[in-house]
């Protein structure tokens, strides 16, 4: 079952987000495996992240990778993500 995840990363700048993303993309394999969509939005207090994952397991695997890397690049710890089961989704043109 697909899972929608959102989290507010207070105190995180777009530069920190970009540094984390570049580091993740340089890792061997595909740390984003199972991510169906990702949106990062700058907010007044930091960054908001919205993801659509193919399963809770895929999200859990990603979190096991991203948390140590985020710490390594000096990102402040974000808020607790919220997740919801997805009733339906579609991708235009797919």
Indicate whether 62 pLDDT > 90.
Answer: yes
Q: How confident is the model at residue 30, as a pLDDT?
A: 94
Indicate whether 68 pLDDT > 90.
Answer: yes
Task: Quote the percentage of the chain above a pLDDT of 70.
Answer: 99
pTM, rounded to two decimals:
0.90
DSSP states along 23-90: HHHHSSS-TTTTEEEEEEEEETTEEEEEEEES-HHHHHHHHHHHHHHHHHTTPPP----EEEE-S---
**Confidence band of 76 (pLDDT split at 50, 70, 90):** confident
């Amino acid at each position: 079952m697909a899972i929608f995840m959102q989290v507010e990363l207070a105190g995180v700048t777009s530069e920190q987000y970009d540094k984390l993303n570049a580091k993740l993309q340089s890792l061997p394999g595909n740390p984003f495996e199972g991510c169906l969509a990702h949106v990062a939005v700058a907010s007044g207090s930091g960054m908001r992240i919205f993801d659509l994952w193919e399963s809770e397991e895929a999200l859990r695997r990603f979190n096991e990778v991203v948390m140590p890397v985020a710490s390594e690049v000096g990102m402040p710890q974000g808020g607790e993500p919220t997740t919801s089961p997805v009733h339906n989704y579609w991708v235009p043109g797919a």
